[in-house]
Structures are given as structure tokens and as C-alpha cells.
Amino acid sequence: MIEHYIILKSSKTYGISNMMFPGVVRDKISTLYSFLRIVDNFVDVKPFRIDLLYKAKEYVLNNIDHKIGEIENRVLENFCRLVDESGIEREWIEAFFRSMEWDTQRTEYTYRELLEYMYGSAEIVGMSIARIIGLNNRSMTGARLLGRGMQMINFVRDVFEDLGIGRIYIPKDHRDMFSVDITRVDENWIRLIRMEIDIAWGWIEQSKRYFIYIPNIYLIPIRTATELYQWIAYKIYENPTTIKRKKIRPTYSQAILYAFKNRILH
């Protein structure tokens, strides 16, 4: 599947942990991530590919409503089939596209606005995976918290990369609390970065309370991805200035080691 290649190329953490799911589930989650990645790519370049963003939105929502349109994109076609098969909700997809549209319209967010943005860009991902693997609604809060926590870690890690395309995801009201210019590294900047990591860590730890609802065959890859993200968070917290010099992410060997450990221990 081309989707397996897309997920492995874009993220070691998700790619390797996803390989631990059973075959059919692995294919479905690869389809989900590939759809998200392709649409996200439309707004992660300058100039934005707004034409492609709205074309994808129209195609997907029309297909959900069984008003079949035409588009030559295998990933979008496979995603539409996945929606039908897995019960991913239309409102979640609308929220995702809304967040992607905001990326073309906004350069910064307050904390409250960021939470709304992350619902569409991250929390719906967790809920979609929960639906794909057949979890009941009791798991949804945990799925939302885990998705939100992982994305906040990405926002902190990629702060200078995002600045390059004119975006700041570190909330404006948080920056104002510390009188921080996000482009200038100083002691207050370090305190701010550590506060954001603390917030993300808290969400992830809360999400673990809901792991009891996940069958072990699915919990192993989810736990692996969670631990890899917490490793990234720990490395940033330990030395926040590192993110100015390089992108912190696990190596393939680290990711495989975590996956192997979780398979043996759980």
C-alpha cells in the first residue's frame, strides 16, 4: 500500500508503532494517516495550495453524503471507503478541514483558540483510531487527550520550523505571561517551553487512565507511540534550547527498541 510508505516517510514514531497493529487494522490506520498527511501538506507550504485543500474537502464530504465526485487521488478514495467501513463521523472530518483552513488564515492562537484548533487537527485523529479498532465511547476522552498531548509536543518541538511558514502555535496568552518573544531564546523563553511540555505531559498522563478500555493487541502499538512521544517531551524539557538547533525525534532503532520492549512486556 502506498499509504504504508507515506506514514513511514512522514513519521518514524507513527510508522513503526503502526506496523505493530494487526494487518487489516494497520492498513486502515495507514489510510487515515495518509489522508491527514496529504491534506496537511496543502497548508504546510508557501504559497498555500488552497485550491487543492477545498477540492479535497468537497470530494470527501460529497462522498460521505453519497454525492460521488471525481478526483484522481487514490488516498482520498481509500479514505472515503474507510469512513463508510469504520463509522468515522462527518463532524470530525468537518472539524479537521476547519483547522486546516485556519492554517491558511491565522498566524497565532490564544490557548482557548488552540484547544479548538487541536480538536480538529489532533483529537479527531485519536477518536478515528478508536472507532477503527472498535473501542466504545468510554475510551473517547482518552483518545482526545492523547491526540492533543502528542500534537502539543509537536508544536513545541517544531516552533522554529512553524515560524518559517509564519505560524506560532505556542498560545499568545502564555507568551504574554512570560513576556516572551518566541524568536528570542532567553530564560523566560525556556520557562515557557517547559510549561507547554508540562501541559502536554499532563494530557498524555491523563489519557493513560483510559488504556484499560483498549485490548492488549491494540494497546501495544498505542503504548509504543505514547512512550516515544514522552521521550521527545523529556528531551525537550531537559534542554529546551536544543529545538533551535535540530529536530528532536527518535531514531528508527530507538522506535524499534520501544516496540520490541512493549511486545515482550505486554
Beta carbons of 4 and 31 less than 8 angstroms apart: no
Segment 95-115, tens digit of pLDDT: 999 999 999 999 999 999 999
pLDDT value of residue 6 = 46
- Cis? peptide before 47, omega within 30° of 0: yes
Q: Which of 207, 154, 197, 158 is nearest to 174 (CA)?
A: 197
Segment 214-229, tens digit of pLDDT: 998 889 889 989 999 9
Q: May I ask the CATH architecture of the domain 2-265?
A: Orthogonal Bundle (1.10)
- Angle, helices 2-10 vs 23-43, to 10°: value is 60
Q: Structure pTM?
A: 0.89
Query: Can you tell me the distance from the alpha carbon of 97 to that of 200, in angstroms, rounded to the nearest whole number?
Result: 23
